[in-house]
């Protein structure tokens, strides 16, 4: 019998208050380390545009890039759920989104696709989930909209913005999303969203109360050339990659990461 992590497993973890761990991976070797360490969700993030391709944003990542890296990662995800990002401009209509999502699922081996956006993309998420495509949402700071924000900025500090982010998360749940990433929002807002919706929230720069946490694996290893507030270099203390990942898993599971130092 398969011991693959399912959406139902993650829902059960939320209901029991057990933290979900997630990290990005872009190749088979890293994915193997994460899978062995017990990471529940491996994300092939379009952050690969920044940490692999050396771009300053994720905007140039293509569908072919995502299919290639997801195929590599899928070779090593024996237990972890494999989520792949839909890149910028790959889901501008429901029809286009379905064609591109099926490339990630059928060609590359992803189990879930992740899209950035809230109420504005609810009709697209609805079309995907109605066609049996499992979807993870992504609200708060949406890196594909960085040009609209004028930089990588915390979202939801103003009440009106915070209300919209909550509505976005609710719209995604109503459209059938099975999980939502909350990126760079005040910890208090993430606490409210996590309590208000029934599907798991996975935070990055969103405080300790999310149902789980995700980091870009190169940030966790301190090799991405950047150290935003929400990240922590776990390699600095552990000295090797396997122990750094194990320390991250322990810290997330015990509620020891993130602390206020990594939150807004």
Footprint of ligand KIV (CB under 6 A): 24, 43, 45-47, 85, 181, 183, 204, 214, 216
Question: Between residues 95 and 120, which has the closer beta carbon with respect to ligand KIV?
Answer: 120
Query: Nearest approach, Cβ of 24 to ligand KIV (angstroms)?
Result: 4
Question: Between residues 1 and 241, which has the closer beta carbon with respect to ligand KIV?
Answer: 241
- Distance, in Å, from the CA atom of 185 to the CA atom of 139, rounded to the nearest integer, reads 9
Question: Between residues 179 and 241, which has the closer beta carbon with respect to ligand KIV?
Answer: 179
The answer to whether residue 158 is catalytic is no
- Distance, in Å, from the CA atom of 10 to the CA atom of 87, rounded to the nearest integer, reads 24
- Distance, in Å, from the CA atom of 109 to the CA atom of 89, rounded to the nearest integer, reads 21
- Distance, in Å, from the CA atom of 250 to the CA atom of 264, rounded to the nearest integer, reads 22
- Distance, in Å, from the CA atom of 261 to the CA atom of 49, rounded to the nearest integer, reads 27
Query: Nearest approach, Cβ of 85 to ligand KIV (angstroms)?
Result: 5
- Distance, in Å, from the CA atom of 175 to the CA atom of 257, rounded to the nearest integer, reads 31
Query: Nearest approach, Cβ of 207 to ligand KIV (angstroms)?
Result: 15
Question: Between residues 132 and 214, which has the closer beta carbon with respect to ligand KIV?
Answer: 214
Query: Nearest approach, Cβ of 183 to ligand KIV (angstroms)?
Result: 6
Q: Smallest Cα–Cα separation from 217: which of 43, 6, 88, 83?
A: 43
Burial grade of 94 (CB within 10 A; 0-12, 13-18, 19 or more)? middle
- Distance, in Å, from the CA atom of 225 to the CA atom of 243, rounded to the nearest integer, reads 21
- Catalytic option among 111, 116, 173, 183: 183
66 close to 91: Cβ distance less than 8 angstroms? no
Residue number of the CB closest to ligand KIV reads 45
- Distance, in Å, from the CA atom of 14 to the CA atom of 19, rounded to the nearest integer, reads 7
Question: Between residues 53 and 132, which has the closer beta carbon with respect to ligand KIV?
Answer: 53
- Distance, in Å, from the CA atom of 227 to the CA atom of 225, rounded to the nearest integer, reads 7
Query: Nearest approach, Cβ of 3 to ligand KIV (angstroms)?
Result: 25
190 close to 263: Cβ distance less than 8 angstroms? no
Q: Which amino acids are annotated catalytic? A: 183
């Amino acid at each position: 019998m398969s011991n693959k992590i399912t959406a139902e497993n993650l829902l059960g973890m939320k209901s029991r208050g057990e933290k979900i761990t997630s990290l990005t991976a872009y190749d088979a070797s890293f994915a193997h380390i994460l899978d062995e360490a017990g990471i529940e969700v491996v994300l092939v993030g379009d952050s690969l545009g920044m940490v692999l391709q050396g771009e300053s944003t994720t905007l140039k990542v293509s569908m072919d890039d995502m299919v290639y890296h997801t195929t590599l990662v899928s070779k090593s995800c024996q237990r972890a759920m494999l989520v792949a990002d839909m890149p910028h401009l790959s889901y501008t209509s429901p029809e286009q989104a379905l064609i591109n999502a099926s490339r990630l699922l059928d060609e590359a081996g992803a189990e879930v696709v992740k899209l950035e956006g809230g109420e504005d993309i609810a009709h697209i998420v609805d079309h995907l989930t109605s066609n049996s495509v499992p979807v993870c949402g992504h609200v708060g700071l949406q890196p594909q909209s960085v040009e609209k924000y004028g930089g990588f900025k915390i979202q939801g500090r103003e009440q009106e913005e915070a209300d919209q982010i909550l509505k976005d998360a609710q719209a995604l749940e109503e459209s059938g999303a099975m999980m939502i990433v909350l990126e760079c929002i005040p910890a208090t807002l993430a606490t409210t969203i996590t309590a208000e919706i029934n599907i798991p929230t996975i935070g990055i720069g969103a405080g300790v109360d999310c149902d789980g946490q995700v980091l870009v694996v190169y940030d966790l290893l301190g090799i991405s050339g950047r150290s935003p507030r929400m990240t922590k270099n776990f390699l600095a203390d552990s000295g090797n990659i396997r122990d750094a990942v194990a320390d991250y898993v322990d810290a997330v599971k015990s509620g020891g990461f993130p602390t206020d130092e990594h939150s807004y």
